[in-house]
Amino acid sequence: MQQEKLYTVAEYARIRGVDRTTVYRWIKTEEIETTKERGKLRIVVQEDLPDEDVAEAVADESQVVALLREQVREKDERIKALLERQGKLDETIRQQNESIQQQNAIVMQMTRNTETAQKLLEHHETPFFRRLFKRRKSGEIVE
C-alpha cells in the first residue's frame, strides 16, 4: 500500500528544483494530483517520489548555502583588505600633508630672510660717507 504525502506548491517546487509557476502549470494541465486541505492547495505525491529526491534537494540547498557562505567570507576578506589599504593611504596622505606644511614653513622663513637681506642692501646703497656726513637740519642735535 502506497502512502500519500502532501506538499505545498513551494515545497514541491523546491523538491523538484523548478519554479512555482511551473508547478501551477502542471496543476492546470493535470500532470500532478492536488487536493485542498484546510482551504489551501496541496500536492498529492504517492511514494513514487523517492526520499532520495528530497534528500538530494536538501543536499543541493546545503551546497548552495555553503557556496553563499564562502562568497560572503570572500567578500568580507576583500572588504577587510580594502579597509587596510585605505588606512595605509590615509596615513600616506597625512604624512604628505605634514611634509607640505614643513615645506611651507621653510619657504616662509626663507622669504622673511630674503626681505631682511633686501632691506639691508637697500640701506647700504647710500655711500657710508654721505650717511656719516649728512646734512642736519638746523636745531637737530647730533649724538
Which of 39-48, 53-62, 113-122 has the weakest average pLDDT?
A: 53-62
Q: Confirm if 18 and 9 have CB atoms less than 8 A apart.
A: no
**Is 0.85 surpassed by the pTM of this model?**
no
Per-range mean pLDDT, top range of 33-37, 80-84, 118-122, 137-141: 80-84
Helix axis angle for 9-16 and 20-28, nearest 10°, is 110
pLDDT in the model for residue 1: 45
Q: Work out the percent of the chain whose per-residue pLDDT is above 70.
A: 76
